[in-house]
A = this chain, B = another copy of it.
């Protein structure tokens, strides 16, 4: 089993973690960034990476916002936390980073998106009651929001960003719809931000008032206001997630010829795996299969990412001025990638690299991490590692009976645990809520996909269908599905066994700590006076 070992002995380090800044982008694939050899210049992320470790093989445990974020926030695989899709309520027994930090007296503040939904029906059904302050935290999955803002519908009346927009002169009842994602066509008519055909038109909002700039400014103000009081902040950007709309000048920095062409091959449309085939039929896949769509969308994504890098530069400058860059654990990542036409698919979800590989930087302020600053790690990272990393940096109880990830400080500090690191990553896709299920004629509980990826192969078990297999060495672009290739039978068997071991060895028993199990092992007589089988 994986364990989260403590990497922060009290060794007289002069720099220790007092604050936590957990930055997340939404739908940001790693390979777009110059940080990862891509086309978008990201000087500020590169600057951040020089202070810490950049992880080259960081993967999400589900390429869907809800399950991925819940893994980021609980440190547990989707099959363990059971939020297998967007807006599936978190079961009442789960605990989050916010719960852990809150119990330690360090509220986990939030700026931006979580996609979290509490299990209100479960709470009512169990007749559990909460006092108003606890209810507030329950509603936010343990986060203590400065501002919760999920960014895919008009903010509610009275919400801070809406108020801000109105105070800045964006008039009317729908400032988000009309300005933040709204544009004017050349003829002066409204051009909906929901439609990809309009993506390249500038948002009617000024860049300084856009979501990315607003959230960054809120973060700057928060860090300033905290002064020397320790803090933990989840700065969770909305972008470059849809609606695809960038303010000037970011809408027009890049054009159709500046972006990568989709990674796709005609052979992928010939007799595809049934689930892959069903995904190719989804509306966004059909759209992104057309050249004009990706040639319009991708440059806008690039601009949105450029803006994020610019804004992060402002934030990092500010933290440097305040000295916060030296006592803050900084994590940078994304909840999943973006297919945008790769493999004839739109959006994410499917287990291709474009969807599951994300950027990941960890800046560990401890002196123990000095030797790894600016290094690139090839070790596999999963979403579930963020919670144990943060608990470790703050020297809090690692909750090893629940948390399934590993502290990345083992890698920033090159501790003994680094030598026995994991050699694969796992993923899950529950497509019950997707039209793909209807195309395939399956029931809501018949739609599980399970992935394991090591350095060489990616294997996907699909409930009810033959598996998929990609040889990432011979076929790094994942064009050739070897799922039924008899030459690779032994590989599939070995990968399938890894999935079995993973499924069967997750942390099912989580209501007792490992210490409690140890204390109760063979203790019936000592603890309860019970004698069994004695003559």
- The interface residues of chain B lying within 8 Å CB-to-CB of A95 are 125-126
Q: A514-535 interface mask toward B, CB cutoff 8 Å, 1 = contact, 0 = none?
A: 1001101110000011111111
Contact yes or no, A520 B288, CB < 8 A: no
Contact yes or no, B534 A195, CB < 8 A: yes
- The interface residues of chain B lying within 8 Å CB-to-CB of A512 are 88-89
Contact yes or no, B288 A438, CB < 8 A: no
Contact yes or no, A119 B511, CB < 8 A: yes
Interface members, chain A 269-311 (any B CB < 8 Å): 282-288, 290, 292-293
Nearest neighbor of A90 in chain B, beta-carbon distance: B511
A interface residues, tally (CB under 8 Å) = 93
Q: Is A18 an interface residue (CB 8 A)?
A: no
Q: List 29 A-B contacts (CB under 8 A).
A: A1-B445, A1-B446, A78-B508, A79-B508, A82-B510, A83-B509, A91-B93, A92-B93, A127-B130, A128-B129, A152-B530, A196-B535, A283-B534, A293-B535, A346-B532, A347-B532, A347-B533, A432-B521, A434-B521, A435-B521, A437-B521, A444-B521, A445-B505, A445-B514, A461-B500, A461-B504, A463-B504, A496-B500, A503-B504
Question: A286 to B532, alpha carbons, bound, how many Å?
Answer: 11
- The interface residues of chain B lying within 8 Å CB-to-CB of A60 are none
* Shortest beta-carbon distance from A321 to chain B in Å: 39
Q: Is A197 an interface residue (CB 8 A)?
A: yes
Q: A71-113 interface mask toward B, CB cutoff 8 Å, 1 = contact, 0 = none?
A: 0000000110011110111111111000100010000000000
Interface members, chain A 478-520 (any B CB < 8 Å): 496, 499-501, 503-505, 507-512, 514, 517-518, 520
- The interface residues of chain B lying within 8 Å CB-to-CB of A530 are 152-153, 194
Contact yes or no, A430 B509, CB < 8 A: yes
Q: Is A242 an interface residue (CB 8 A)?
A: yes
Contact yes or no, A432 B517, CB < 8 A: yes
- The interface residues of chain B lying within 8 Å CB-to-CB of A535 are 195-197, 287, 290, 292-293
Nearest neighbor of A287 in chain B, beta-carbon distance: B533
* Shortest beta-carbon distance from A296 to chain B in Å: 9
* Extra inter-chain contacts (14) besides given A445-B514, A499-B500, CB under 8 Å: A82-B509, A82-B510, A93-B93, A93-B119, A103-B125, A152-B528, A153-B529, A195-B535, A197-B535, A346-B532, A435-B521, A438-B521, A496-B500, A503-B503
- The interface residues of chain B lying within 8 Å CB-to-CB of A517 are 432-433, 444
Question: A504 to B194, alpha carbons, bound, how many Å?
Answer: 37
Nearest neighbor of A196 in chain B, beta-carbon distance: B535
Contact yes or no, A284 B346, CB < 8 A: no
Question: A110 to B288, alpha carbons, bound, how many Å?
Answer: 60
Interface members, chain A 247-265 (any B CB < 8 Å): none
